[in-house]
Structure 1
């Protein structure tokens, strides 16, 4: 349980502090850029659009993904499962999670390969007139999908234990 609390704190920190600060930075870059153009007729932040598009927005999304998945903000097909008895519901959820785990594992594999190739090739992005390395932003993609996969595996294990009668279905909603 200590491991999961640590993972959940990491997810919360990425979402609250990381994604929150990226959202604030996006607002500030936009306001400063627009104010400079309209009031001073000058571009106060060269490459502001590129900064938002290639740095701030991707970090915001990938830092918020794991906690959004854990909190159940992703679309889920639970209508049929919710009307079933607890063990059958757990079996349906385990099956759905097994499919989801398989899809995200393949996705994580290809994302990790993409990121590795980007690091090996030293990919850069243009911000204003400068070229900056893109690997620090790209490295957040496998981190986000890895954290989501960990949560899916935890839920799958819980559902399998309910199906096998090892865990009480009444505890099911506690950590979901």
Structure 2
């Protein structure tokens, strides 16, 4: 019975690890290649080889890197957490405070998620585009990554609240391999 939440947790870890390592890694590599090609074209060949390169990096690569990496950063506790005072409390009170803070955090993210979903849905309905060079590209592939990232973070917060209610620590289980390598 305890295996199902662990399998769910590992599956989420694989999704987050894949998004962070593969997705964000490919975006970072693309940013490097685009920048190098653009600089070589501008300063060596005296022409713009990739028109709209800056827009592509600014409007596609950077947002995707952020929204693909944030859920994994939150899961691995590299996301900012202010728990110095909480750690000084007695265990029972510490657990109550952690559950309360988790619920408040979850409520805040739920409100943000609502507005992100509305923004994303409206962008899809309006067929929003972004200008890359002289062309206009649809923005929906970038927009749908925002609610996905917030959903993954909210699932992790639910897990932490559940662990707090059960009196367990919310640390990620150590399986001998990290989430990034589990994605492959």
Question: Normalization by structure 2: what TM-score?
Answer: 0.88
Deviation at 1:172, TM superposition (A): 4.9
Match among 47, 68, 83 for residue 63 of structure 1: 68
Whether the 8 Å contact between 2:41 and 2:48 is mirrored in structure 1 is yes
Matches for 1:1-176 after TM superposition, within 5 Å: 1-162=6-167, 169=168, 172-173=170-171, 175=173
5+ residue gaps, structure 2, are 1-5, 175-184
Distance 2:151 2:170 in 1: 23
Distance 1:64 1:138 in 2: 15
Q: What's the secondary structure of 1:126's corresponding residue?
A: strand
Distance 2:171 2:124 in 1: 41
Deviation at 1:175, TM superposition (A): 3.4
Q: What's the secondary structure of 2:114's corresponding residue?
A: helix
After superposition, the Cα gap between the structure-2 partners of 1:174 and 1:7, relative to the gap in structure 1 and judged at 3 Å, is closer
Post-superposition Cα deviations, 1:32-51, rounded to whole Å, max 9, x if no partner, equal 10111000001111100000
Q: What's the secondary structure of 1:56's corresponding residue?
A: helix
Deviation at 1:3, TM superposition (A): 1.1
Post-superposition Cα deviations, 1:50-72, rounded to whole Å, max 9, x if no partner, equal 00001111111100010011111
Consecutive aligned runs of 4 or more in structure 1 exceeding 3 Å deviation: 171-176
RMSD: 1.3
5+ residue gaps, structure 1, are 163-168
After superposition, the Cα gap between the structure-2 partners of 1:37 and 1:128, relative to the gap in structure 1 and judged at 3 Å, is same
Corresponding residue pairs, total: 169
Q: Which has the higher contact order (CA 8 A, sep 6+)?
A: 2
